[in-house]
Amino acid sequence: MKLIDKGDVLTVTEVKELGANNSDAFRDEVKAVLPNGFRTIEIDLSQTSFIDSCGLGALIAIYKYATGQNGSVAVRLLNPLPPVQQIFELTRLHRMFEIVRRDPA
């Protein structure tokens, strides 16, 4: 996983898998850098081949943290692969997250 600081935007990329074994670390790492004045977090899921219920839990925790207290940070999920997209739809989380499809910048 890689965190890229683009001024207003924090981009999280190179997330290969998001499961019970790494979801806590993923969540804590993102939460740790969040207070640095970002207005948007973009989590690039284009390389994420697998996600389980714990991985979803980590994304929800980040979303709650980012939008919760100040409500100022937007969370975007970029280009999820079809199986992951299917999981978001099945769990109706596509209604909570802003899921964006666009070519990598």
CB 77 within 8 A of CB 98: yes
Beta bridge mates, 9: 6, 40
Closer to another protein at the Cβ: 9 or 93?
Answer: 93
Nearest-approach distance from CB 49 to another protein, in angstroms: 9
Closer to another protein at the Cβ: 9 or 46?
Answer: 46
What is the C-alpha radius of gyration for the chain, rounded to an integer number of angstroms?
13
Angle between helices 53-68 and 23-33 (to 10 degrees): 20
Q: Using CB under 8 A as the criterion, which residues of the chain lie in contact with another protein when the complex forms?
A: 17, 19-21, 50, 52-54, 56-58, 60-61, 64, 83, 87, 90-93, 95-96
Nearest-approach distance from CB 54 to another protein, in angstroms: 7
Closer to another protein at the Cβ: 20 or 100?
Answer: 20
- C-alpha–C-alpha distance, residues 26 and 34, integer Å: 13
